[in-house]
Structure 1
């Protein structure tokens, strides 16, 4: 009798690493603790189901619920080996994942979970929080707008004002960019009033004071600054025109231009190891008064009047480019060509020229003058019409750059005023420049959240509670990426080593700053082969490469994370 031979190949890839990392972070256990399920729940626990769902999202860069069950069906042996639990494809049905998202949408339970998760991560990874960065973003989708719903039309940071959106406020820990608090609100809400609730959640979660909160100019509302100061924390943010009118900024800069105020340079080493001045500025103080929870407080605020030299150079180049384009467009108004009417009077020509000036934002920098041009053109006799002289009148415009105004405009470029209540011992001028220039960290996190690999947008969920739950699940995924990256970079720095083999097409390229995406990509193409014959099951796993073993060692994971999947010889029951 011929025995049937069954061979199953499963793509393992980075799944065991992701599951091990999530378990080390305590995610499955904490989810089960804070989101208990009812007695009829069968199969994987909510915490483990969410963990494997998140592993799918990170591995496949796809958050769609209906893609998870087919993915799991092709990897049941791998998933069982990673979790040491029975795993069914039904554990990842649309309904089951919808239940997970619905549970994560509970505000009270999520706040308790997020707080304990933060405390656990700070302890396990020995993170000393000092700087917290707060910012918001939007996620658009094809939803139906309802009067009091979550999905609303508003100012879109995705440049899609025609689509409903939700707004996400992220509070992250520098320099990792690891989320500490995630708030999901209606898409039409303004950013300014969202900072105080976000900061309050961080305080409740970390239970620490003396942190420096860094944000953009939308965090600079007096109410927000007063709230941070009253809570014994510090803030650093640039002031917008609503907090610092142009005439007040002019008063800050006049002493600099007259030579009465000396500037302090901020220096950094370039790639060649040379010290380069990247910014210059000075500091002054202002006394502020505000009301916080019914109490009037007064404090001294440091105003850091800074000029970014690179920003000033780029601004000057862009300004001169706009001037050249505007001059060319204005001169073109005088051109005579077929099908183009000439301006018969000054008024319409002035209107057209001033529209060009406004288009390029060059008011006050260009001097326009208008001249009437009279031309006499002889007309030959034709039949009964005698010869004559035709007089044609038209107007032309001349344009010159106001060099004095241009010099003054260039002199103002690159300046920005930052506000902080942190003492100099806590935040020097140099440190303030560095702290704010790290804003790219949270921007990168938002790019990961909305794009690859967390793939929030476009969002395909229609229920509001499911959308909130998904965003919160993805915030855990962002923690996975930031911590994975942080640990490997920290270990490499301690060893003074680098990783090679991460870059396709350039295997000898070495880096001491690998990204989490590259680290996970290094585990692609690992395959588990399951052979069933004569009542026996054999498993074979693609051997780990030296690079893969090195990454596991840097993360302090044993090779057993993978090798426990195979080779295995097991007798069927």
Structure 2
């Protein structure tokens, strides 16, 4: 099944057309054919260790030769050959052209919808140690960690995907300490080449919303919709607009296919604004019109308010414990208070003061009983008193703007309504699904065993191809199920009656685990028959059942 999809995607031929041939003394498979073997191993075994490929190829040599039609030697899968493949992919300047050619073919061959595309980045934390000599040019660096591991070095991975399947159009492995802002414009330009037009809606996170990105995308004929980064003075502007909307506020209704009745997502309004950007190099001025979308999500507002109430309760509990035992050191007490407020993000919502109460205690000299004439001395004592209270005005101001976000788009209201913009950005999880598969799923890149950074780039490139296989399988099957208004059952162990119209590639591939190739003593072969579930999946994939027959096996 995996090799069939890789053949349909023309992975081997596209790689071979863009890579130089292996060393002249090396006989056997081309880089593209070896990439197919390695990808098949990664997907089927959920393991990217190239040292294991040789043993796996040896165990499945007869099957692999029959399916592919290639002559596969025992040493085709050695870690040296795989390492050469990954390094060549990592250092070649043609890797962008390979991705563009591959994605162009898939968009055309499967008639994929091209109305929306999006991009995002994530970080991969590793335990690598870099020498001082190689620190500057290294890919592995300290940076902002989305894995919440700031103590580890990392590299970043960018994914640009196509709605609604989340199929990667592009991928790039980037240095761990860089900013994402400069990546969005080149990514958009490459996506226009793949998709073949500029009329698609480009979505990304707030780091894409720089003035230069928006100006240049608009100048070159693109359409974008980004959330705005909440840097000053935007928070104040948002608060003023929410309190006194300059235009009519409308309700945002969502119609979920699974719900019979539409639900109220929130409300919002839009403000048309003109923008000016000056290109630094040429000092040329660009002017264009945008719509600033001011949108409230009721669900987000509820979560934010509950979150603040929870943080206030926990922060006040910690301050109460500190109030009972403030200690004697004022600087230490101040430090502990700041740590609590910072930990619970309450600096704006709780104010405090530290009072000093001075008293004098009698300390008698000598031992024995005391009388009025006993001599004593007075010792000065300083007691610290912690006072704190909620800032009601700030808390109320937070609750007023809770759930509200600013978005910006250059699309007309006919091209992208307020409700459509909200629904489009709600799908921003699509690249995150790919990142999840890269980190914890069947296509996991972690842990990284390579020290060679070119091999890391080559591995991530192959993993994006494997992700294309998964997302393409899911798209084709789900489209068929949607057209037939049916669902697929018997995918879930222990609950065979459970049906779904959104099966995952992992579940569907697992359904083919029990197919066996029998080799008889006379060297004839026999393949076990397909069950009903396997036959149904093949029909939904538009794949002929003959790929699991001896005739297909013999012909490759």
Q: Name the TM-score, length of structure 2 as normaliser.
A: 0.89
Q: Name the structure 2 match of 1:8.
A: none
Q: Are the counterparts in 1 of residues 437 and 444 from structure 2 also a CA contact under 8 Å?
A: yes
Which residue of the other structure, out of 92, 109, 113, is the alignment partner of 1:124?
109
| Distance in 1 of aligned mates of 2:51 and 2:329 | 67
Quick check: 316-325 or 285-294, which moved more?
A: 285-294
CA-CA distance at 1:103 after TM superposition: 2.9
Give the number of the structure with larger relative contact order, counting CA–CA contacts within 8 Å between residues 6 or more apart: 1
1:374 is displaced (CA, Å) by 8.9
Q: Which has the larger displacement, 276-285 or 324-333?
A: 324-333
User: What CA RMSD, in Å, does the superposition of the two structures yield over aligned residues?
Assistant: 2.9
CA deviation vs aligned residue, 1:281-300 (integer Å, no higher than 9, x gap) = 10002211224574432101
Asked if the contact 1:540–1:566 (Cα under 8 Å) also holds between the matched residues in 2, the reply is: no
Query: Which of 287, 300, 310 lines up with 2:274 in the alignment?
Result: 287
- Other structure's SS at 1:537 match: coil
Say whether 1:101 aligns with 2:90. Answer: no
Residue of structure 1 in register with 2:423 after alignment: 434
Give the SS at the match of 1:105. helix
Count residues in correspondence. 541
CA shift, 1:207, in A, is: 3.5
Q: Which 5+ residue runs of structure 2 have no aligned equivalent?
A: none
* Equivalent residue, structure 2, for 1:14: none
Contact 1:26-1:117 at 8 Å conserved across structures: yes
Q: Partner of 1:33 in structure 2?
A: 17
Following superposition, the deviation at residue 393 of structure 1 comes to 6.9
CA distance 1:69–1:358, shift in 2 (3 Å): closer
1:547 aligned onto 2:533: yes
Note the C-alpha offset of 1:551: 0.6
**More displaced stretch, 375-384 vs 236-245:** 375-384
Instruction: Show the counterpart of 2:249.
Output: 263
Matched, 1:490 2:475: no
In structure 2, C-alpha distance between the alignment counterparts of 1:369 and 1:29, rounded to whole Å: 72
Separation (CA, whole Å) in 1 of partners of 2:140 and 2:462: 19
Say whether the 8 Å CA contact 1:331–1:398 is kept in structure 2: no
Q: Secondary structure at the match of 1:161?
A: coil
- 1:203 lines up with 2:188 in the alignment: no
Q: Deviations over 1:403-441 (max 9, x none)?
A: 343222211211110011111111111110011110111
SS of aligned partner of 2:466: helix
Give the aligned partner of residue 61 of structure 1. 46
Other-structure match for 2:506: 517
Partner of 1:6: none
The alpha-carbon deviation at position 360 of structure 1 amounts to 2.3
1:401 aligns with 2:386: no
- In structure 2, what is the equivalent of residue 312 of structure 1? 301
Q: Hey, what's the Cα distance between the residues in 1 that align with 2:336 and 2:497?
A: 59
Aligned in 2, Cα 1:183/1:244: closer, same or farther, shift over 3 Å? Answer: farther
SS at match of 2:323: coil
How much has 1:382 moved relative to structure 2? 7.3
Are the equivalent residues in 2 in contact too, given 1:81–1:565 (CA < 8 A)?
no
Partner SS for 1:241:
coil
User: Which of 340, 346, 350 lines up with 1:366 in the alignment?
Assistant: 350
TM-score using structure 1 length: 0.87
Q: In structure 1, list runs of 5 or more residues that go unmatched.
A: 1-16, 569-573
Report deviation, 1:143: 3.1
Kept in 1: contact 2:113–2:163 (CA 8 A) = no
Cα separation, partners in 2 of 1:358 and 1:80, compared to 1, 3 Å: closer
The counterpart of 2:68, out of the listed 83, 88, 91, is: 83
Give the distance between the partners of 1:302 and 1:58, measured in 2 at CA.
Answer: 44
Whether the 8 Å contact between 2:100 and 2:194 is mirrored in structure 1 is yes
Structure 2 CA distance for aligned equivalents of residues 297 and 567 of structure 1: 61
Is 76-85 or 374-383 further displaced after alignment?
374-383
Q: What is the deviation of 1:343?
A: 4.5
The one of 269, 273, 278 equivalent to 2:260 is: 273
Counterpart in the other structure of 2:448: 459
Shift of residue 397, structure 1, vs aligned partner: 3.6
Distance 1:109 1:399, change over 3 A: closer
Moved over 6 A (4+): 345-348, 369-382, 387-393, 565-568
